[in-house]
A and B are shown apart, each in its own frame.
Chain A
């Protein structure tokens, strides 16, 4: 399975999550960019430190016109508990039923039932502007995302 490459149309979706229902196309109306952070499993060590980091960098993303959203195959009740325990104020979405359907549309569903640790930046025109699949056990950090957003902001 290959992650949706830059230039593809991002499939729209509506998912339940830690902050209620979230629809990608609605977020794209309100923000210049939406960062989709697919992750394997709520409460696992790397995912926790990755999402903690996004909480820390959220304001910085926002100043660059971007809203971040986490997505995994965990149920919405798990996402609510995960977000609550870690004080995550951005939406953590549940791609639970059919399991991983949205991850599959983005080409980041694994054969073991989890999503890859993958990052996409979607522009307000619903086009994928940035696509990256991290090693599963590695927290990708925020520098790639910040750098990519900076480049998008700079007219060439």
Chain B
């Protein structure tokens, strides 16, 4: 049975998001879990897409820690947010995605130290309830938007159900860009 239900972002991209690329460009949103091996595998794929199309796309990462099976995912999301408060969200995002699941507390502190962060502040921010609340809210909005696992990607606010590979993503982005021009 099929129907015309469209899985659409409930929370549109805004300046409250961590984003890369021009503010008025086509939005590419990824809901991610740092402990999820599929997200780790998708990381270089998305980076390659951005290398080619980065000027036409505004890339946003939102958190979707699947805590029932990934007990370290929440802490990792907090680490990214805490690094963000010191201007290093994307650098930490890369470290976490490339960590292959080494996401224990000591790992997170080591990554923060590697990025030259103020460790005291980093640890205080990681314990900040408002950051935990931000992550919870992103996750609930993700559930309402049809996130059905990680990673889930949205192109121009509509869920992308194709393969997360370079060809698939680039083709889908190009289709959207051509719509915008017409």
Contacts and interface: CB of A to CB of B under 8 A. Distances in A.
Contacts of B67: 56
Interface stretch (B22-30, B81-89, B91-99, B140-148): B140-148
A55 B68 CA distance: 7
Contacts of A133: 1
Interface in A101-156: 132-135, 138-144, 146-147
Nearest to B145: A143
Contact of A49 (B140, B146, B149, B161): B149
B69 interface: yes
Given A3-B1, A60-B140, A144-B5, A52 B146 contact: no
A86 interface: yes
B68 A143 contact: no
Interface in B50-78: 66-69
A86 B68 contact: yes
A140 B1 CA distance: 12
B1 A57 contact: no
Contact of A52 (B3, B7, B69, B140): B69
B182 interface: no
Interface in A79-98: 86-88
Chain B interface category by residue count: 10 to 19
Contacts of B68: 52, 55-56, 86-88
Interface residues of A, number: 25
A142 B143 contact: yes
A132 B1 contact: yes
Given A50-B148, A56-B68, A143 B139 contact: no
B163 to A, nearest CB: 13
A24 interface: no
B175 interface: no
B14 interface: no
Interface string B131-156: 00000000110011111110000000
B5 to A, nearest CB: 6
Contact of B143 (A60, A87, A138): A60
Interface of B: 1-3, 5, 7, 66-69, 139-140, 143-149, 161
Interface of A: 3, 49-50, 52-53, 55-57, 60, 86-88, 132-135, 138-144, 146-147
20 contacts: A3-B1, A56-B67, A60-B140, A60-B143, A86-B68, A86-B69, A87-B68, A88-B68, A133-B1, A134-B1, A135-B2, A141-B148, A142-B143, A142-B144, A142-B146, A142-B148, A143-B7, A143-B143, A144-B5, A147-B144
Closest 8 CB pairs of A and B: A141-B148, A143-B146, A139-B148, A49-B149, A87-B68, A133-B1, A55-B68, A141-B146
